[in-house]
Amino acid sequence: MIRREEFFIPSGGINLHCKLDMPSGSGAKIPMVLVIPGLTGDMEESQITATAEALAQNGYASLRCELYGHGKSEGAFHDHTLFHWALELMDLIDYARKLDDVSELYLCGHSQGGAAAVLAAGLKPDVLDGMILLAPAMLIKDAGMAGGFPIRFFDPEHIPDETLVFDSAPISGNYYRVNRLLPFDDAIALYGDKPVLVVHSLTDELVPYSYGARTAAAYQNAELVTIPEDDHCFEKHIDEVAAAMIRFLNGIRKHSYQ
């Protein structure tokens, strides 16, 4: 049996939409995974719901959360930045770690949710037991890149006041300005040697596989799982992604209790 609750958590003057899936009947505290969707995404996307279901089936609670301007959370998509997301994630981490029936706490982010997770984990490494990054859209300071996504239609040195995400969603140029200054290297260093799992597809059409590989290489204690052929949302092999996650989480727990 799974107990599901839907609610809002206040953060930075807005309310964040969340869903809690809690396996019931154990009578003991259980580990929880915070699950964060990516840019333009929401908690009902197939890779997010499949993650939550796999966690519940294996005895893990999950707290799915939509951040600023996404899903049913407040805030305008046009005005969001990864600064917003990182700060909100700190509030969500604080909320989750205070729940009476939660033991360990893990953080999982997909795409831009993974980039936000990197920042939040660097800010609160002492309260996280591990992190999972699914196709992380990390900031790679190559020419023509900002925030993990290609800038196709403008000079990154002359960012317009407004542009489009995925050719359809208007967003402030401040989104890209902020991304170019985010301290990912510092966040990775602050996270130390705690365990990280990075899962990325070789054929990701949106965020290059090299981003995942370079992210894993930057951490002291990271494992990279390569999905040979899939899209950005792992629509073909989400079962392999879920299996890698459960193996990773179970491994941490086994090592911790030896």
Structure confidence at residue 147 as a pLDDT band (50, 70, 90) = very low
pLDDT for 8 beyond 70? yes
pLDDT for 233 beyond 80? yes
Distance CA 108, CA 114 (A): 7
The pTM of the full predicted model, rounded to 2 decimals, is 0.93
Q: Which residues contact 26 (CB under 8 A, 6 or more apart)?
A: 59
Domains belonging to the chain, first-starting first, are 2-141+183-256 (3.40.50.1820)
Across residues 41-70, what is the average pLDDT? 96
Find which of 25-29, 215-219, 244-248 is predicted with most confidence, using mean pLDDT: 244-248
pLDDT for 74 beyond 90? yes
pLDDT for 144 beyond 60? no
Q: Which residues of 36-45 are buried (b: 16+ CB within 10 A; e: fewer)?
A: bbbbbbebeb
Q: Each residue of 105-142: pLDDT tens digit? A: 999 999 999 999 999 999 999 999 999 999 998 754 54
Sign of CA pseudo-dihedral 57, 58, 63, 68:
negative
Angle at 104 between CA 185 and CA 112, to 5 degrees: 40
